[in-house]
Structure 1
Amino acid sequence: MTKHAGADKPDVEGKEAGSSDDEQDLAPDLSQADRETVEKRKSPPARIVHEVIRQQGIEELDRPAASLVWSGVAAGVTIWLSLIAQAALMLKLPDTPWKPVIAALGYSVGFIVTILGRLQLFTETTIVAVLPLATHLSWPNLGRTLRLWALVFGANMLGTLAVAILIPHVNLVTPELLGAMIDVSSHLKELTPGDAFARGIPAGFVLATIAWLLPNTRGQEVWVVTLLTYIIALASFSHVIAGSAEAWLLMMTGHATFAFAAFGFILPALVGNIVGGTGLFAVLAHAQVRSEL
């Protein structure tokens, strides 16, 4: 008797088909329309989210330097809305024990506009720009990542510093609001460089979490950004870009020195954000799907 080709091989496909049939037997009797609805409502697996963010990172890495710089400057200017909104709430709310809890919601405003406006915020790049590097480790990819980090961080600092120079001298806000902004920013003076670094780690982790969640939020982006950045404000974590607005304002109004702003807060917070966003979240996010890629 002539053997058919492949007759001596295990019936793997048959087993897989059988197991699939068994699963179908256990599944509810749904119509085709119901099954399509189930597929639409299913959350994408982690490897899909990873690939979405990796592709975003590739697009950002390939953008011209001028585009990155202007977008980064715009982000640095826009993030001031966090300090302004928080200070305005502190100024307007009655003096009650829950006043700081409500005022902390204002901290989310700048992040909502910056992140949903797709402006270049450095702490988002700690995961977005790193996943392409983690997937394909090479010196050219490392160089592209460092280029993006340098351009975006420098542009963010330029934006926050420019507003800090203008606010005390051009009457962009009322004297009362300026005083409230200085009061809100004064908590930085209680931090040592070690404190700024340590509190920068969870802040970097939270911002990387936002970047990871956004592809799967399906119209709930505002709530995700609001909730997670609200935690940063409540817990007094150190976000280097929003915090630089506070540090520059203290410097420009004579409440702090340049050495404190640059080396007492900004530099330690920067390192902490990188550790939290890249060293913790990006590495963990890549590790969980590495074997599936």
Structure 2
Amino acid sequence: MAQQESESIEKEQEEVQQASSAHDIHRAIFQEAETELNRPADSLFWSGLAAGLSMGFSMIGHGLLKTYLPKADWSTLVASFGYSLGFVIVILGRQQLFTENTLTPMLPLLERKDFRTFRQVMRLWGIVLLANLTGALLLAFVIAKTTVFSPAMLKSFEEIGYAVMEPDFSTTLLRGIFAGWLIALMVWILPNAQNARLWIIILITYIISVAHFSHVIAGAVETFTLAAMQKATWADVLGMFILPALIGNIIGGVILVAVINHAQVQGSKQ
């Protein structure tokens, strides 16, 4: 009997600790969201532009490893580590990345449910998305129209772009849901990650690369570069990748993480 009571107490303590942890994470993200929602538009834009440019290093890192690794079935597992580079720069550098913002500003909106907060969220999303895509476009033209990278590297970038463009609209959308889901989960995990932040970013973004999930900004650099090389049309890039990846990332980040995790915290308060 005493043993059962002890186990019951331990279970209750564990549940309290888990609830407290969820509340702590929710509170940390909520406070960060409040700050971001009230940032000046020019500050958001320049941070988002920096993020769009920095995300190019995901393609550059991936392409660099792809170029110099031998042609083998296992080489993609190693080359995909390069994909994490852009995310490490952006997230640890505190730059504004659109897919992070599918989770963060949603918590105040889900809490208050008013038009003022909705307008703030749309403002934040619009500015950051535009800035991210502008940065991706600028870097794509630099890569495609200059001699910064060797022909072998450019060939690798082309192959990466073709792989991103290969799926149809619905497949890209579904893969975008998984990418948005994982990025938003990463944002939810990072406040408690402490010294493991770097490894969490690398692990989650590595899985996105290996599984060919569709991240709208990382993929924008890859597909914009393909279009700038005149290997794909801009209409196909925008209609067959950017649009479905964007929709998927929003669904994955908002519904599967923001809404559900907010609901679990609110439920534990009752």
TM norm. shorter chain > 0.5: yes
Task: Quote the residue 1:285 is aligned against.
Answer: 261
In the alignment, is the contact (CA less than 8 A) between 2:164 and 2:212 conserved in 1? no
CA distance in 2, matches of 1:108, 1:130: 25
CA distance in 2, matches of 1:249, 1:45: 42
CA distance in 2, matches of 1:286, 1:155: 28
In the alignment, is the contact (CA less than 8 A) between 2:55 and 2:87 conserved in 1? yes
Matched, 1:89 2:65: yes
What amino acid is aligned across from residue 204 of structure 2 in structure 1? L
Task: Quote the residue 2:212 is aligned against.
Answer: 236
Matched, 1:166 2:168: no
Task: Quote the residue 2:44 is aligned against.
Answer: 68
The alignment's TM-score, normalised by the length of structure 1, stands at: 0.84
Task: Quote the residue 2:239 is aligned against.
Answer: 263
The runs of 5 or more residues in structure 2 that have no matched partner are 11-16
Task: Quote the residue 2:14 is aligned against.
Answer: none
- Give the structure with the higher percent helix: 2
What amino acid is aligned across from residue 225 of structure 2 in structure 1? L
Task: Quote the residue 1:186 is aligned against.
Answer: 162
Who wins on radius of gyration, i.e. which is larger? 1
Spell out, residue by residue over 1:155-174, the C-alpha distance to the aligned partner (whole angstroms, 9 max, x if none): 00000001111112222222
* The one of 171, 174, 178 aligned to 1:195: 171
The runs of 5 or more residues in structure 1 that have no matched partner are 1-21, 28-41
Matched, 1:58 2:34: yes
- Residue 103 of structure 2 aligns to a residue whose secondary structure is helix
CA distance in 1, matches of 2:141, 2:195: 37
Task: Quote the residue 1:138 is aligned against.
Answer: 114
Spell out, residue by residue over 1:207-236, the C-alpha distance to the aligned partner (whole angstroms, 9 max, x if none): 001110110001111100000001100111
Matched, 1:101 2:81: no
Task: Quote the residue 1:247 is aligned against.
Answer: 223
* The one of 184, 187, 191 aligned to 1:215: 191
CA distance in 2, matches of 1:70, 1:186: 30
Query: How many residues matched?
Result: 256
What amino acid is aligned across from residue 103 of structure 1 in structure 2? A
CA distance in 2, matches of 1:189, 1:75: 22
Which 4+ stretches in 1 moved above 6 angstroms?
Answer: none
Matches within 5 A, 1:10-29: none
- Residue 152 of structure 1 aligns to a residue whose secondary structure is helix
Task: Quote the residue 2:127 is aligned against.
Answer: 151
- Residue 256 of structure 1 aligns to a residue whose secondary structure is coil
Identical aligned residues as a percent: 40
| Aligned-pair Cα RMSD in Å | 1.5
What amino acid is aligned across from residue 41 of structure 2 in structure 1? A
